[in-house]
A and B are shown apart, each in its own frame.
Chain A
Amino acid sequence: MGTFVRILVAGLAIALAVAFKNYRDLSAPAPLPNLDNNAYWGPGEPKDYKANDAVVPYDIGVAPELIADLHAQLSRPLRLQEPLEGVGFEYGFNSKELRKVINYWRDSYLPKWSEREQYLKKFPHFQTTIQGLKIHFLHVKPQKVEGKKVLPLLLMHGWPGSVREFYELIPLLTTPSASSEYVFEVIAPSLPGYGWSQGSSKTGLGVAQVAVIMRNLMLRLHFDKFVIQGGDWGALIGSNVASLFPENVLAYHSNMCTNNSPVSNIKLILSSLFPGFFIDSQHAVFYKGIGSIFVHILEEFGYAHIQATKPDTIGSALAHNPVGLAAYILEKFSTWTNAEYKHLEDGGLSKRFTYDALLDNIMIYYVTNSITTSVRLYSESMNKAQLALNLDSVKVQAPTGCAHFLHELAHTPDSLLKDKFVNLIHTTHYTEGGHFPAFEIPEKLYTDFRNFVNKLEN
């Protein structure tokens, strides 16, 4: 690590010098990029596209043949290699644990699939076509309102998640509580290319363009003003919606607030060297410094690297490969929930989740065959064209709440977040929880979100 950090610091010092010179240009408020709010993403020619505004109930039922085929695949002898001696999850998903997961999937989970399917159906599912793509979403209204103010909430997942992450959170959001005058009407879409939402046929559907689709979805449902909550890609899409369409966004809450502007990245380097200026000392443990963050990202981002450059290769590799898909996705639920779980032979998966819940999420990727379109979001978002939009430098005016859960991949100090989220009215630090708090500790996330909303002045 010493060598890496030395090289990194040298390179960053040069970058710093250059950046300082261009500080004024870099820190100027960026103009809103010009995005086509009606871009067509479906198959064929745009001119042949006949828009359809209908919102129709959607049946997520899975054909029994698919389940039977999956069972047959999981029954094949596993061709896994024994882990190296003394290794937990340091080399990736431990094959001993993978064997356990596959056996459970086949022998315990699939036999009760109709139960799981019923569970997934417990919220109303819909589809509507936005810009040529069928977008799936859950639409959950509060059963009782009891005099509370109903706020529409756009709730967005990321990768390798799905709407399933929100199944224990949604009842909390849609049930009136004595602790708040608000209750929420939840719209939880599958991102385009994820779950039951159609993937783009055209190149260019990056995180900015997804924000346009999500906002159009809310308008389609007659929500002109709404609150946003998201993590992972959901956080980035949400922040983009707030940047692009401030007139529609009442408030933005995220469990992964980031500021990726050039100035913020420079400040991040400085905050490693001079933490006192940037970080509240009582939360020092959250802010590990750029050397540590860099090493951690390097270790954990192999998947992002390949997804950003060869999405169709890795997509084809995982497409009808349930064993591979399980290893690839569940690895994240281990390490991103707590990096220390890497040293456990079972990856700590059952410490915070049930196999049923984890497999529900895997099933969504598997039955919808969406792994390839899901990973394309990386290549579409990490390229020159997206960077040129400079959305990272556009400020968010909406009242913002940021929840920091300790075991998240990395944290951006609040002082840097304030540069982008100029109305940061709520920030919290939790010493438990990781990258998937809605899935892992829904009550905590709900409470934090509710506390944030309570601070809003309407």
Chain B
Amino acid sequence: MKCLIVFGLIVAFVGAFIGFGYLKFTELTRPLPKPQLDANRYWGPGDGKNYVPDKKIYDFNLQVPQAEIDDLRQQLNRTLRLTAPLDGVNFEYGFNSHALEQFVEYWRDNYLTKWSTREAYFNSLRQYTTEIQGLRIHFIHERASEEAAATKKVYPVLLLHGWPGSVREFYEFIPILTMKSNITDYAFEVVAPSLVGYGWSDAATRTGFNAAEMATVMRNLMLRLGHKEFLVQGGDWGSIIGSNIATLYPENVLGYHSNMCLLNSPLAILKGIYANYFPEKYLPSRFFIEHHFPIWEKYMYLLQESGYFHLQATKPDTIGAALNSNPVALAAYILEKFQTSTGPGLNKDFGAIITVYTLEAVLDNLMVYYLTNSATTAGRFYAENVAKPYRDLQLDRVQTPVPMGCARFRNDLPSVTDWQLRDKFPNLKHSRYFQQGGHFAALEMPPMLFNDFIEFVENIGLDKL
């Protein structure tokens, strides 16, 4: 009799434990409903009580006064007091100061001398500004070429950059999207904005402007331009913002393509750890295991590379002051990310950035940050996205029916598997692994990104919608 009681108690206890565990597990991992955001929230200066939206679209033309270029050259001409790297060290301790000297020299003596051609290149894509929710938004707007418009199915696409990028990342990508191509029936009308707080877009003057607010502004931008339905493509923050648009405004998004497929819901994290031990079960091929696993190595890699993230997420105004005050500071900090993005093989190499990108492209991008003095406001985005109001939205747990496409480039930050992605994107239509390429795919290999993007678009079957 006693045995039965003891046995019964044990069963009851274990059952309760399992039940409790299951309840907690489902609580942590079940999908959540879509949160409601105020799609008209005012983000301009002041309280917006008397805010009358200016819906006009203004031409934008970059014209930097020569005095500013001369002043920059003067700043770059100060005697550098950089510390030599430790013996035998390349880029393991951060951006190599000898390499930095070479970049500064080129920037000053070569790049700035031909600044007018760089400025003309900036202006080679049509750009505009318009006011959304109190913020002036700068954007490139290139329609499909005449040829393409005549013969192809044209769809609008919103291209979103990240940090430390800018619209410059898309300058070689956009012409491919808008031209008449032999390999696809599609062509695109491209809208590529500077994110709020980046480039020539205004920054928020109040706290709380996070990736959900950014998604709302960018979606409203597309509506302003007359596009009620559009595609979205992005990497880095652009990928996260794109995911948010697809989640918060699924009725507006025809398809969402990402080249940095992250998901940080509790379920995704648990699945990642689990799949680490059975990788072949969850990947299309053994060739792609190294994109995701061993997961502990990936975490260590992220820890190694995320000092900037930690700093910007907690003290953006401190590091922003340093970066805004000195172009050499900006160069070291931003170039480090381009160096790392060249991949583990190349990134010991002084010439890695030149091998993968061009000096002009990378310096163009640096100039965007320098000319707009946006290092502080760009960094603040990190703080807003780790703050409680954004975390509480738990957007990674909200499903969206929007078709999704994922391109994984080998040298980018580690992404999640399709098995994980489907929990948020049940309509995952396209997934490809690239065994080369890094974080700035649009800049590094625009035709490859284009090929992947159109394969995704063709998969959606847009004209049948």
Contact = CB atoms under 8 A, between A and B. Distances in A.
Contacts of B321: 80, 92-93, 95, 98, 323-324, 327
A79 interface: yes
30 contacts: A69-B78, A78-B325, A81-B324, A84-B205, A84-B206, A84-B207, A87-B207, A91-B380, A92-B319, A95-B317, A95-B321, A299-B314, A302-B313, A303-B315, A308-B307, A309-B94, A312-B97, A316-B95, A316-B97, A317-B322, A319-B80, A319-B83, A323-B321, A324-B321, A324-B326, A369-B81, A369-B83, A373-B83, A376-B93, A379-B93
Nearest to B335: A313
Nearest to B311: A302
Given A302-B307, A305-B311, A310-B307, A316 B318 contact: no
A308 B304 CA distance: 9
Given A313-B336, A327-B321, A328-B318, A91 B383 contact: yes
Contacts of B89: 203
Contacts of B97: 312, 316, 372
Interface string B78-89: 101111111111
A177 interface: no
B206 A79 contact: no
Given A98-B321, A301-B310, A324-B325, A203 B333 contact: no
Contacts of B330: 317
Contact of A316 (B316, B332, B388): B332
A12 to B, nearest CB: 16
Contacts of A312: 83, 85, 93-97
A200 B87 CA distance: 9
A93 B318 contact: yes
A94 interface: yes
Interface string B351-388: 00000000000000000000001001100100100001
B305 interface: yes
B282 interface: no
A280 B312 CA distance: 38
B81 A319 contact: yes
Given A302-B315, A331-B318, A313 B332 contact: yes
A79 B325 contact: yes
Given A201-B86, A202-B86, 14 more contacts: A79-B373, A84-B380, A92-B315, A299-B314, A302-B311, A309-B94, A312-B85, A313-B94, A314-B333, A317-B323, A321-B326, A323-B322, A324-B321, A369-B81
A14 to B, nearest CB: 12
A92 B94 contact: no
A98 B320 CA distance: 12
Taking residues whose C-beta sits less than 8 angstroms from the other chain, chain B's interface range is: 35 or more
Interface string B178-203: 00000000000000000000000001
Contact of B311 (A86, A201, A306): A306
B329 interface: yes
B328 interface: yes
Contacts of A323: 321-322, 325-326
Interface of B: 78, 80-89, 93-97, 100, 203-207, 303-308, 310-326, 328-330, 332-333, 336, 373, 376-377, 380, 383, 388, 391
B74 to A, nearest CB: 10
A82 B332 contact: no
Interface residues of A, number: 59
Contact of B304 (A69, A307, A309): A309
From B78, B86, B203, B330, name the one whose CB has the most chain A CB atoms within 10 angstroms. B86
Contacts of B95: 310, 312-313, 316
Contacts of B82: 316, 319, 372
Contacts of B85: 312
Contact of B86 (A91, A203, A302, A308): A203
B332 A83 contact: no
Given A92-B320, A376-B93, A82 B205 contact: yes
Given A85-B205, A312-B96, A369-B83, A305 B318 contact: no
A234 interface: no
Given A85-B206, A203-B89, A372-B83, A92 B322 contact: no
B80 to A, nearest CB: 7
Contact of A317 (B313, B329, B380): B329
Interface string A190-227: 00000000011111000000000000000000000000
Contacts of B377: 81
A320 interface: yes
B307 A307 contact: yes
B322 A328 contact: yes
Interface string A357-369: 0000000000001
A349 interface: no
B329 A92 contact: no
Contacts of B380: 84, 91
A320 B81 contact: yes
9 closest pairs, A vs B, by CB?
A: A324-B322, A306-B307, A313-B94, A92-B315, A310-B94, A92-B318, A302-B311, A317-B329, A312-B94
B383 to A, nearest CB: 6
A132 to B, nearest CB: 12
A138 interface: no
B93 A321 contact: no
Contacts of A93: 315, 317-318, 321
A429 B47 CA distance: 47
A80 B376 contact: yes
A318 interface: yes
Contacts of B319: 92, 328
B224 to A, nearest CB: 26
B370 to A, nearest CB: 9
